[in-house]
Structure 1
Amino acid sequence: MNAVRTAVAPATGYRPLRWHRDHRVGLAGIVGAVGLCVIVGGLGPSVITITVGPRRDLLPPWYLPKGILDPNEWLVSLMIWAAIAVGAVGLRIAMRALDDGWRPRVRRLIWLGVGLITATILVPPLTSADVLMYAAYGRLQVIGRNPYEVTPADIFRGQYDPVMHWTERPWTDTPSVYGPITSWTQVAANKLGGTNMHDIVFWLQLFSAVPFVLACLGVLFIARSAEPERQARAALMTIANPVLIWAVVAGAHNEALSVVFAVAGMIVIRKSPFLAGLAVGVGGCAKISIGIWGIAMLWAYRHEPKQLLKICLGAAIPMVAAYGLWQPAALHQAIRNGGIISTGGWVNLLFSLLVSIFGHSPAKIVVGVLSYVLLPMIVYMLSKVLPWDPAPGIAPGVDSRKDPMTIALRTAMIIGFAWVTTSIYTLSWYDLQVWMPVALLTAGKLDRLLVIRGAVLSASFVPGRAIPFGPALTWAAARVRAPISPIVQMLILAAVFLWWKWPQRPQLWMVWRSPSGVDGDDQGPGVGDPQITPAADADPASKVAAS
C-alpha cells in the first residue's frame, strides 16, 4: 500500500503533510457544510426550505421575512448538494487525520457538534416536509382523532384547520406509522405551539435535536475509558458528523427518539440485562425498527437463558403496554409501512424494469423476496470480515467474543447495516442506528461505506418535496434520484461482497490484479513518494517498518 508519512512534533502535535489528511481541512468541511445549510434555511421558504406558516413571536426557526428575497431554486439546490458533498469529504478527511495521529480534545469536538446542531434548528427544516406531518398527527390527537385511523386529509378536505392547512403531499392521506412515544411528542409540540405551525415545528425540531445529542453523548459515555483516538473517533462519527446532522437534524426527523433509548440500554447491558431490555423496549415504542438492537442484545446472551429471559421481560413491559393495550393500531401501521418502494434505494431501477415487464404487483413481490434473500447474505458476509474489536470498558482478561456489550454492538452494526442497505424502503436518517455502534468498534470499511451511502442517498432527495419545480431542476433531481443513487446503493452491496471475497484488500471496489500479483492492492510507493530502502545492517524491525 502507499506509505503516507506525517511529522509529529512533540511541541505542536500533529502536522499533516497532505491536504487530504489535514484535520483543519476536515473541520472546515464539517463546519462549512452546516454553514451552507443554515444559510439556505435563513433565506426563507424555497424549494429546499419548507414553509412553516406565519411567525407570531420570537421563537425559532428564524429566516428572512417574506418579500425580502425570493431564493432561486437552482441556487439553493446547488448549495445543499455542495453542503452534503463538502460535509462528507470533510468527515473522511478528519477520519484520515485521526488514523494518521491527530488527537483532538474530545470536549472541543463535542461542543463543536452541539453548536452545529443548535445552529441547524435555528432555521426551518430543509428538503423534507415530514415534520409538517408530525405536527398534523399531533393536531389530530389534540382535536380528539386517532392518527392511526384518521389522516390529515380526512380533516382539511372537509374543514379548515390552522395546522393541517400547511401540510404537503405525498403523505397527507397516510395514517401515522410512528410509535406511541413519538405520537406523545407530537401532541406535546402541539400543546406547546398552540395552533401556530411555526411554533409547533420549532418544538418538533427540539424533540429531534435533543434525543440526537443525548444518544451521541451516550455513545461517548460508553467510550469514556477508551484511548483518546477512539474517543475522538466516536465524537466525529456521532455528534460532529455532518452526514448525520443533515440526515436527522436538518429535516427534524424523529429517528433519534428510538435510538437514544437503545443507547441507554447498551450502557447497562453488562450489569443489568433487564434494564437493557426495558430501554430497548421503550425505544421500540418510539419506532419499531430499533428492534434490531433488541435482537442484538438477545444474541449477546444467547448462551445464558436466565439473562435472555430478563431482556425479553424488560422489553415486553413497555411494548405490550404501548402496542397491546394503548394503541394496537400503531403496530399494524408500522409494519404496513415496510411495503413501500424507496425511490433512491438500490431496488428502484430493478423495480422499474420489472414493472414494465410484469406489472406492479408481481414486480413488488420479486423485489421483496430478493430483499429478504439479500439481508441474511449481507449479515453472513459482514460477520466473517468484521474484526472482534472489544467494546470500551471490557474487563481485563475477558474475551471480546464473550463480552455482552461487544457482541451486542457488533451484531447491531451488522444487522443494522444489512437492513438499511437491502431494504426496499430506505432513507438516509435510518443510518443513525448503524453509526452508533460503528463509532464504538473497529468497523473495517463500514464507516467509509456509510459516508458514501448517506451522502448520495441524501443528495437524491434534494429537492425532496412534492411541490412544483422548474423543468430543468425536476430533470436534474430525478437523475440523481435515479439512476445515480440506486447505482451507488448497488455498489455498496457489491463492496460488501468484494470485502468478503478479498478481506485483506483495503480498497472498496478495486477488483483487478496489480503488477505485484496482489489482488487490488498496489504495493509500490505512490506518485511522488520516494523509495524507502533499509540499510544493509539495519535491524529486522526497521526493515519491516520501511517495507
Structure 2
Amino acid sequence: MTRGVAGSFLVLIGGLGVSTLPPSSPLLQSGMLDAIRGAQAGRMSALFLVLAGLGLLASAWLALCRHVAQAVGEDRRDALDLVRFAAMVWSAPLVLAPPLFSRDGWSYAAQGMLARVGLSPYEHGPSSLLGRHTSTLFDQYQLQSGEPIVQAVDPMWADTPTPYGPLHVWLGEVGAGLTGNPWVLVVGHRVIALAGLVLLAWAVPRLAQWTGVNPALASALVLLSPLMMANGVGGLHNDLLMVGLMAAALVVGVERHWAWGTAIGALAAAVKVPGGLVCIGIALATVPAGAALAVRLKRLAAVAATAVAVLLGLGVVTGLGHGWIGALTVPGTITTPLSITSLAGGVLDWVALQLGLGLPQATFRDFVRGLGLVGIVGVAAGVALRWRTGDRAAAVGAVATVTAAFVVLCPVVHLWYFLVLPPFFATLQLGRTALSALIAVSVILGMVAPLDSSLHGAYYAIVLGCMTLGVLLPVILLTRGAREQIDRIASSRWPVLQ
C-alpha cells in the first residue's frame, strides 16, 4: 500500500516538471520550478521521477493483485474493501496535479468556458477566448482575461471545435461558472473523471459476479492498473467517466430495467460517442434466452430509440445543441501511431509513392480508415444480431467484443482509449494466457504514457525515457520473480456463488 502511495507522489512531483503549465500559473512565479523546467537536466530528472513513480505503482499493483487473488478466509472477505481503499489513497496525491502526459485537460477547461460565455464549443475553438469575452466574469484569482485559460491548450486544437458530447461540455460549463482559474478547472475535471472510477468500483464487482470471477481481483485489475493511474487519473481523460457510466449502465439495465440502463448508456455517449456501444449488451441481456429474431430486433430498436432520445434531449436541455455530431470528424484530422488502420493505410500510401503511382496524398490511409469504420459497424451489427441473448455473462462478452473492435479499428487511437477495455475483459472468464496478456498490456500502456504528446520534440528526454523503460519493463514483467507473480495472478481461481 505504501509503495503505491509513494509512486503516486513521485508521479505528482515529476509531473510538475514535465507537464505543460500555463505561464501565468502561480507555481511558476516562485522561480524554482520554472528554473527546473527550463533546464534540460531538470526536465530529464523530472521525467525519471515520473517513470520511477509509475514503476513503483506497477510493482505495488501486481503485489496487490497477487494478494487478493490468493486471499483466503478473513482476507478474502476484506479483499474488495482493500482494493477500493487502495484506489482511493493511490489516487489522492494526483488529484491536485496538472493534466499529465497530455494537454487535453486544459482543453476541457477552455471548452467549458466557451460554453459559459455563450460561445458554442461546437463552432469555436479555445482561441476564441482570447477576445476577452470572459473579462466580465467574477474570478478571485483575477485570471479572467481569457488568455491564461488558453495558454496551456495544445496549439493543434486551439482553433478546432470539440467532438465531446453535451454532458461533458455542460459539466465544464458549470465549473467555469464558478471560477476562471484554469488549474482549479482542471482539478474539477479530474474530480469528474474520478466519479467514473467510483462508478467502476461499484459496477465491476457486480459484473464479476455475473461471470463467476473473483470480484476483488477484477476490481484490482480495473481500478489500480498503471493504465488507469497514468491515463485515467493522472491524465484525467473523459474516457474514464465514459467507461464508468458504461459499466453502471450495463448493471442497471440488467438488474433494474433496460430503459434505465439505456438512459445511463446515453449519458456515456453524451461524454464520448463510443460509450453508447454498451447499449448492445443491455439489449441482448434483457430479452429471453433464444429469443426469435423479431423479439431481438424489437428490443434493439427500443433501446436505440431511447438512447437517441436521451442523447438529443440533453443537447436541448443544456442549450448546447447537437453541433458535436458535425465535430466528430475533428479527431480524424491527425494520424496516431496506435491506430492500425491509419498505419496500414500510411504504409500503402508510401508504397504507392515509391512506385510513382501519382495518387493523391493519404488516398490509401483514408480508404483503410473507411474500411475500419465499416468493420466496427459490422462487428457491432454481428454481435447485436447473433450473440447469445438472456445471459448476463454473455452480455459482458458482447460489450467487450464491440469495444475491442472499436479500439482496434478506430482511425484515431490514443493510449487512454484502451481504458474502455479492462472493465469488460477483466470480468470475463479469461484463460491464463489471456489474463497474463491483459496484465502485461496494462503495465506497458501505463508506463509509456509519459512518452506521449507531452514530449514531442524533446529528443533527449525521449531517449532517456526509452532507456529507463528498457530497464523498468523487463524488471516488472520479465524477471523470474515477476513472471511467477503474474502466473499466480493469472492462474488463480475464486469461484463466486451466484
- Give TM-score, length-normalised by structure 1: 0.68
Cα displacement (A) at 1:182: 0.3
Aligned CA distance change for structure 1 residues 467 and 111 (closer, same or farther; 3 Å): closer
Q: Name the CA shift for 1:300/1:339 in 2 (closer, same or farther; >3 Å).
A: farther
Q: CA deviation at 1:405?
A: 2.5
TM superposition shift of 1:126? 1.4
SS state at 2:214 partner: helix
Among 3, 25, 30, the residue aligned to 1:54: 25
Write out per-residue CA displacement over residues 146-167 of structure 1, whole angstroms, 9 at most, x where no aligned residue. Answer: 1111112244389962422342
Indicate which of 268, 273, 278 corresponds to 1:288: 273
Distance 1:440 1:70 in 2: 44
- How far the C-alpha of 1:214 sits from its partner, in A, is 2.4
1:321 equivalenced with 2:313 (yes/no) = yes
Give the Cα separation in 2 of the matches to 1:243 and 1:108: 20
Q: Retained in 1: the 8 A contact 2:246–2:265?
A: yes
Alpha-carbon distance in structure 2 between the residues aligned to 1:330 and 1:480:
40
Note if contact 1:277-1:313 (Cα within 8 Å) is conserved in structure 2: no
| Aligned 8 A contact 2:109 2:182 in 1 | yes
Deviation string 1:315-370 (CA, Å, 9 cap, x unpaired) is 13212323588522111212553564213444565455334333632131243156
Q: Is residue 230 of structure 1 aligned with residue 193 of structure 2?
A: no
> What is the letter of the counterpart of residue 18 of structure 2?
V
Structure having the higher helix fraction is: 2
Distance 2:223 2:462 in 1: 33
Contact 1:220 1:235 in 2 (8 A): yes
Q: 2:102 aligns with which of 113, 124, 128?
A: 128
1:219 to 178, 191, 204: 204
- Deviation string for 1:350-399 (max 9, x for gaps)? 4553343336321312431563577589999999xxxxxxxxxxxxxxxx
Structure 1 residues 376 and 334: CA distance shift in structure 2, 3 A:
closer
Alignment of 1:420-439 (within 5 A): 420-439=407-426
TM-aligned CA deviation for residue 480 of structure 1: 11
CA distance in 2, matches of 1:124, 1:108: 27
1:18-55 CA-to-partner distances (Å, cap 9, x unmatched) read xxxxxxxxx566445423213324xx3x2236448434
CA apart distance, 1:134 = 0.6
Please state whether the residue corresponding to 2:157 is helix, strand or coil. Answer: coil
Local SS of the residue matching 2:399: helix
Counterpart of 2:496 in structure 1 is none
Root-mean-square deviation over aligned CA pairs: 3.9
**1:126–1:336 distance in 2 versus 1, CA, 3 Å:** closer
Distance 1:429 1:451, change over 3 A: farther
Letter in 1 for 2:326: H
TM-score, normalization by structure 2 = 0.74
Q: Residue in 2 aligned with 1:277?
A: 262
Q: 1:145 aligns with which of 93, 98, 119?
A: 119
- The equivalent residue for 2:14 is 40
Are the aligned partners of 1:77 and 1:462 in contact in 2 as well (CA < 8 Å)? yes
The equivalent of 1:260 in structure 2 is 244
Tell me how many residue pairs correspond in the alignment. 432
Structure-2 separation of matches of 1:240 and 1:182: 24
For 1:350 and 1:83, how far apart are their aligned partners in 2? Answer: 35
Tell me the equivalent position of 1:174.
160
1:70 pairs with one of 21, 28, 36: 36
Deviations 1:275-300 (A, max 9, x none): 12121112211210112212222343
2:36 partner amino acid: D
1:218, 1:267 within 8 Å by CA — same for their partners in 2? Answer: yes
Q: 2:365, 2:467 → 1: CA distance?
A: 22
By how many angstroms is 1:470 displaced?
Answer: 4.4
Deviation of 1:236 (Å):
0.4
1:185 aligns with 2:171: yes
Q: Which residue of 1 aligns with 2:324?
A: 330
Q: Distance in 1 between matches of 2:167 and 2:383?
A: 33
More displaced stretch, 461-470 vs 414-423: 461-470
2:231 to 240, 244, 247: 247
Distance 1:468 1:376 in 2: 34
Q: C-alpha offsets along residues 87-132 of structure 1, whole Å, 9 cap, x if unaligned?
A: 4454445445555556452212211111112221132221211111
Find the structure with the greater CA-based Rg.
Answer: 1
Write the distance in 1 (CA, Å) between the matches of 2:310 and 2:227: 32
1:244 to partner: Cα distance: 0.7
Cα distance change, pair 214–307 in 1 and its aligned pair in 2 (3 A): same
1:161 matched residue in structure 2: 146
**1:440 aligned counterpart, secondary structure:** coil
- Which of the residues 308, 312, 336 maps onto 2:304? 312
CA distance in 1, matches of 2:328, 2:211: 38
- AA aligned to 1:438 is F
Shift in alpha-carbon separation, 1:308–1:352, aligned structure 2, 3 A: closer
Higher relative contact order, chain-length normalized (CA < 8 Å, sep 6+):
2
Partner of 1:9: none
Amino acid across the alignment from 2:399:
A
Q: Which runs of 5+ in 2 are unaligned?
A: 134-144, 354-360, 474-483, 485-498
Letter in 2 for 1:144: G
Deviation per CA, 1:407-437, whole angstroms, max 9, x where unpaired? 2211111221232133231122222322112
Distance 1:309 1:468 in 2: 45
Q: Deviations over 1:460-507 (max 9, x none)?
A: 4524346775442255669999xx9xxx9xxxxxxxxxxxxxxxxxxx
Identity %: 18
Q: 1:470 to 1:410 in 2, by over 3 A?
A: closer
- Residues 315 and 452 of structure 1, relative CA distance in 2, 3 Å threshold: same
Structure 1: which 5+ residue stretches go unaligned? Answer: 1-26, 56-61, 384-399, 489-525, 527-547
SS of 1:269's equivalent? helix
Distance 1:158 1:460, change over 3 A: farther
Give the Å deviation of 1:172. 1.1
1:161–1:380 distance in 2 versus 1, CA, 3 Å? closer
1:310: how far off? Answer: 4.0
SS in 1 for 2:156: coil
What is the CA deviation profile of residues 190-224 of structure 1, one whole-angstrom value per residue up to 9, with x for unaligned ones?
112x2221222221221121232223223235557
Q: Distance in 2 between matches of 1:284 and 1:404?
A: 24
What is aligned with 1:443?
A: 430
